[in-house]
Amino acid sequence: MITLTEENYIKSIYHLGKQGVNNVSTNAIAKDIKTKASSVTDMVKKLSEKGYADYKKYQGATLTEKGKRVAVSIIRKHRLWEVFLVEKLNFSWDEIHEVAEQLEHIKSEKLIKQLDAFLEYPTHDPHGDPIPDETGKIKSIDKILLSQAQIGDACICVGVQDSSSEFLKYLDKNNIALGTELIVVHKEPFDNSVTILVSAKEFIISNMIANNLFVKVG
């Protein structure tokens, strides 16, 4: 039996492990989960005992294959529920994450299988993140951060790095959604802001925005 708390730690280790180092530090998990390092040490020991993680003192944690399977399964549920909320219940993309954080822990094989079918096997969630298939396979498209695009590049928005409500509302306000086409007109060396051309209008976005928006070039 795996508890909700254990699931959240596993998810955190998975996400942090993706973005850089394999051995995820105690402090990194603590910050992510909003708990104290001492609590993380305890939990990471438990996950190790249960076979979900490898852990040696002072060396951080990594997920075992078993742990990874759990992580991917939770992420699959999370993203399918997000699709459901947007497609079927008319939520907007900035309102879904918190609800999906709860729904991802519902335990029923059949539920998620049927939900997947009901949504007609979506491949990406409303934030552009790929949905792992039943076997845990994740096929990610090649996307780059808008901040990495070159002047003259014609891009399509395909995802967000940060899916906080504040950031998503900013994009809504400025008519940027997934699928929106844009051209990089100028990159200001001084502050790394980017001038983009969206629906025939020029528009300047800060480096922070450009650093959180994924695009596909070409």
- Of residues 115 through 154, those in contact with a copy of itself by CB under 8 A are 115, 118
| Burial of 4 (C-beta count, 10 Å sphere; 0-12/13-18/19+) | exposed
- Considering only 40, 72, 103, 168, the residue that binds a copy of itself (CB under 8 A) is 103
Q: Is 171 in the site for DNA (CB under 7 A)?
A: no
- Provide the minimum distance between the beta carbon of 28 and DNA in the complex, in angstroms, as a whole number: 7
Contact call for residue 48 and DNA (CB under 7 A): no
Q: What strand order describes the sheet that includes 181-187?
A: 144-145, 213-217, 154-160, 181-187, 194-198, 201-205
Handedness of CA 78, 79, 81, 85 (dihedral sign): positive
Q: Name the residue nearer to a copy of itself (CB basis): 125 or 153.
A: 125
Question: For residues 186 and 21, what is the distance between their CA atoms, to the nearest angstrom?
Answer: 33
CB of 73 to DNA, least distance (A): 18
- Kindly state whether residue 21 participates in binding DNA, applying the rule CB under 7 A: no
In the complex, which residues of this chain contact Mn ion (CB under 5 A)?
Answer: 82, 97, 125, 127, 129
Out of 1, 19, 20, 90, which residue is the one contacting a copy of itself (CB under 8 A)?
90
Q: Which residue carries 């844009």 as its tokens?
A: 182
Q: Under the criterion CB under 7 A, does residue 50 sit at the interface with DNA? A: no
C-alpha dihedral (126, 149, 140, 74), degrees to nearest 10? -50
Q: Closer to a copy of itself by CB, 49 or 118: give it.
A: 118
**Alpha-carbon span 204 to 218, nearest angstrom:** 21
d(CA 204, CA 195) in angstroms, rounded, equals 4
Give backbone dihedrals phi and psi of 148, rounded to 5 degrees, phi first. -90, -15
- Residue 44 near DNA by CB under 7 A: yes
Q: Which is nearer to Mn ion, 138 or 204 (CB)?
A: 138
Query: In the complex, which residues of this chain contact DNA (CB under 7 A)?
Result: 3, 5-6, 25-28, 33-46, 55, 57-60
Query: In the complex, which residues of this chain contact a copy of itself (CB under 8 A)?
Result: 85, 88-91, 95, 98-99, 102-103, 106-108, 110-111, 114-115, 118
